[in-house]
Every structure is written in structure tokens, then in C-alpha cells.
Amino acid sequence: MGGGIIGLATAERLSAHGLSVVVIDERGPAGGVTGASGGLVRALDLSAAHSWAAEGLDRYLRRGHHGRWPAVRETGGLTLFGADDSARAAEGVERVRATGHTAELLDARQIARAFPGLTPPEGFTGVYEPRAGWLPARETAEAMLRDAGSVTFLGGVRALEIVTARARVTGVRTTAGLLTTPAVLLAAGVHSTELARTAGVELPLRTRSVSFCVFAPRGREGGGPEGGGPDVPGPLPTVLDTTTGGWLRRWDDGTAVLAGVPSPVLDVLPTVTRGVSAAEEERVRAVARHRYPRLADAALVDGVTAHDALAPGDVGTVTAWPDPYGLVTATGWNGGGFKQAPASGRYAAELVREVLA
Ligand SMILES: Cc1cc2nc3c(=O)[nH]c(=O)nc-3n(C[C@H](O)[C@H](O)[C@H](O)COP(=O)(O)OP(=O)(O)OC[C@H]3O[C@@H](n4cnc5c(N)ncnc54)[C@H](O)[C@@H]3O)c2cc1C
């Protein structure tokens, strides 16, 4: 249930093991949060106990299991740490290296020299991962679905209820009728809460606002390198600033910069819309300009107002429920589900296969 990046990564793995899989999505593939994702991928994820981000990056760099997913835009990825946090940066380098990926520690001067647009304050350090970057999220999800050749995708079909008998999953009631199945993977984002409840499972997810702005920096001295137009000069890695949570990357067509700053606002409507409010634009600009000053007077050219599902404890989890037996949930990704989807999907598929065995 759910044809976002998590459901599709799981479906692809299940079909690779020869299982008969039906994906139900009330919209279409990547029609929810995934379609709005910034698609940043890197190995470093200090918030997680496991190394799913590193496993995810590895799989993305291999372009999936058959070499057919879109290629990672290997701009490099920089995770910034404040002056009082250099020990965590050093630990981050070690953690990345322990997963087999490359990482190096850069000081503020090295960062400014390598990436002239960035201005980390003196004392800041960065964990630089040369093979990190970003992917077009929707195209990647669609490529996963293509790889899952035998999967039936029921787009435009709404799941209404998980049907159980004697504490076991027996099916899913949908707007297209009843599907009989001994196992259900519930990956419907924040809507998983109401669907889990139909099987007597409490999955207390909330929505957290997650948005980004697309800024087109003005050309130098009123004109770009060719005498006009937007201008994002020089190399620009994906950036995650752990002191503010702010993140940015070059926009898909190279002429602009996508920037987001985590919002504390919870319980927003679970919708995805194009554009951002003036207040959001100012909130993001006020933070992002301190690391990338060209954003101070850049024109807002695009943006997304969306959300992600937030679980208690802030950590996304994959769980096989004992009651009803046959239910596996994969939810609560809190703005970071894309980078680890190949790993969480791999794990969710393992749990589903155990249930069936
Ligand atoms: C603006 C933004 C930027 C982001 N940037 C990054 C990033 O750079 N890197 C990163 O790692 N993560 C990022 N994320 C987070 C990441 O995109 C999400 O964690 C991830 O896409 C969640 O995937 P999902 O499959 O759980 O949810 P979704 O993609 O929302 O999939 C759930 C699906 O379930 C379907 N559904 C719901 N209810 C029903 C029902 N009753 N019946 C049928 N179908 C149903 C929906 O239509 C939807 O398609 C970002 C998120 C946002 C919003």
C-alpha cells in the first residue's frame, strides 16, 4: 500500500525474489511526498543507528540492481558542523569510511577555496563525500517500478481497509474491490496511521512541514558570465548544515539553487503543492544566505510546499507486527526517506518474505 519511493523499493525487491506483488496507490507512482523530494543522497546519517543511508548511496551509485536507474549527480556532498562540534565531524568521517565510502574532513578555508560560493564561518568543519549528490526523485521511483517488471501497479485505487481474520492479514479492501493477500507492506506515508488502525494497529504519525525554495542568483555585476541571466558559478556540492538543518543543491537545470530549512510546524495538511508562501521564502532565505551569500538577493523562481510523516522519536522504522501477522509497516521518514529507500525497501522486503515463509 503506497507507491512512493519506499513502497516501490520494497516491491522491486519482492518481485526480484519471484513474489507476486500488487502496488496500490490512489494517485500514481511517486504521486505523494516522493515526487516533491529534493533527492539528496549521501552516506552520512548521524541521526540513525543503522547505515541505511550508506547502503542507499551504494545502490544509487550502482544505478539499482540492473544499472538502469538515473545516475547520481555526483556533485559531492558536504555536511557542515559548527566550531564546537568538530569531534562529531571527525566521527562522521570515520562512520562514512567504515561503510566503504570515501569522506574527508575540510576546514572552513578549504571549503571556501574548493567551493567559492560557500562561506562557512571560521572554525566550521565539513565532512566532504566526493561521490554524494542528488537524484531526480520521481524518475528514480519510476525506474524502480520498471525494474519490478512483474509488479501490478493499481494507480488511482484507494486502499480502504486491511482485512484480517484470526489475527492474520487476509486482504485489502480497496475502491477497486477486495484483494486477497497473506502479507501487506504499509508504506502510505502519513496516511498509514488511518490504514493501520483498520487492523487494530496504532501507528501515531504526524505531518511535519517540509518545503524548499528555488532561488536564481543574479549574475555578477548585473550580468552572468555571458553578460546576463541567472548565474550559479563554480562547483557547488549538496550542502547539509547541521547547525541550522538547512540544505541546498544546484537546481536541476543548473541555473538556480534549491534550498530548504527544516520547519518546526507540525500537523500540516498532507498535501503537496507547487510554490511557497512569502513567509517561507523569507524564512529560508534568512538562514541559507549565511552559507551561500548569493541567495541574499536571488529571485525566487520555484518551490514546493509539502510534508513528510514524523514518527515518535523522529526515526523512520520498518516493523513486522505480530498481530495481525502479515502486516509490515515502513513509515516515519521525517524528510530523509529518499536517501535510504533502497536499504529500507530491501529490509522491508526481507521482513515480508519472512512473514510468508
Ligand atoms: C520537499 C521535500 C524534500 C525532500 N528532500 C529529501 C532529500 O533531499 N533526501 C532525502 O533523503 N529525503 C528527502 N525528503 C524526504 C523523502 O522524500 C520522503 O521521506 C520519502 O519520499 C517518503 O516516501 P514514502 O514512500 O514513505 O511516502 P510517499 O512518497 O508519500 O508515498 C506514499 C504513497 O501512498 C499513497 N497513499 C496514501 N494513502 C493511500 C491510500 N489510502 N490508498 C492508496 N494509496 C495511498 C500516496 O498517494 C503516496 O504516493 C524530502 C521530502 C520533501 C517533502
Give the number of other Cβ atoms within 10 Å of residue 327's Cβ.
Answer: 25
31 close to ligand 1 (CB < 6 Angstrom) = yes
- Whole-number pLDDT of residue 231: 64
Whichever domain contains 27, its CATH number is: 3.50.50.60
Are 300 and 317 within one domain? Answer: no
333 lines ligand 1 (CB under 6 A): yes
Domain membership flag for residue 60: no
30 lies in the same domain as 176: yes
163 and 283 both lie in a single domain? no
* 300 within domain boundaries: yes
In the reported structure, the alpha carbon of residue 293 is separated from the centroid of ligand 1 by a whole-number distance in angstroms of 31
Residue 290 lies in a domain: yes
Chain Cα centroid distance, residue 210: 11
Distance CA 216, CA 281 (A): 13
**Domain shared by 281 and 143, yes or no:** no
Is 62 contained in some domain?
A: no
* Contact indicator for 71, 63 with CB cutoff of 8 Å: yes
102, part of any domain: no
Q: Do 26 and 156 belong to one domain?
A: yes
pLDDT grade for 220, boundaries at 50, 70 and 90: low
Q: Same domain for 179 and 215? A: no
* 43 ligand 1 Cβ < 6 A: no
Q: Give the position of cell 494497529.
A: 201
38 lines ligand 1 (CB under 6 A): yes
Q: In whole angstroms, what is the distance from residue 23 CA to residue 146 CA? A: 13
Which pLDDT band, with edges at 50, 70 and 90, does 222 fall under? very low
Ligand 1 center–CA 188 separation, angstroms: 8
What is the pLDDT at residue 221? 44
Closest atom, ligand 1, to C-alpha of 25: 44
Q: If we measure between CA atoms, which residue out of 109, 102, 45, 34 comes closest to residue 74?
A: 102
Q: How far apart are CA 251 and CA 216, in angstroms?
A: 9
> Does residue 283 sit in the same domain as residue 211?
yes
Distance between Cα 33 and ligand 1 center (Å): 3
Using CA atoms, how far apart are residues 150 and 135, in angstroms rounded to an integer? 25
Number of structural domains (the chain) is 2
Residue 109 covered by a domain: no
Taking residues 77-105, report their average pLDDT: 97
Cα–Cα distances in Å, from 128 out to 41, 61, 77, 89, 132? 13, 17, 6, 10, 9
Q: Is the CB of 211 under 6 A from ligand 1?
A: yes
Q: How confident is the model at residue 6 (pLDDT cuts 50, 70, 90)?
A: very high
Cβ count within 10 A of residue 281: 16
Q: Where are the beta strands (DSSP E) in the chain?
A: 22-25, 40-41, 77-81, 104-107, 125-129, 133-134, 152-155, 159-165, 168-174, 177-180, 184-186, 206-216, 238-241, 247-250, 257-260, 273-274, 299-310, 317-321, 327-331
Domain span at 12: 5-36+139-205+313-356
Residue nearest to atom 26 of ligand 1 (CA): 189
Nearest-CA residue for ligand 1 atom 14 is: 335
Question: Using a 6 Å cutoff on CB, does residue 27 contact ligand 1?
Answer: yes
pLDDT for position 230: 55
Residues 32 and 144 in one domain: yes
Q: Does the pLDDT of residue 228 top 80, yes or no?
A: no
Length of the chain: 357
Q: Is residue 327 part of a domain?
A: yes
* Residue 318 and residue 174 share a domain: yes
Q: Which atom of ligand 1 is nearest to the CA of 333?
A: 19
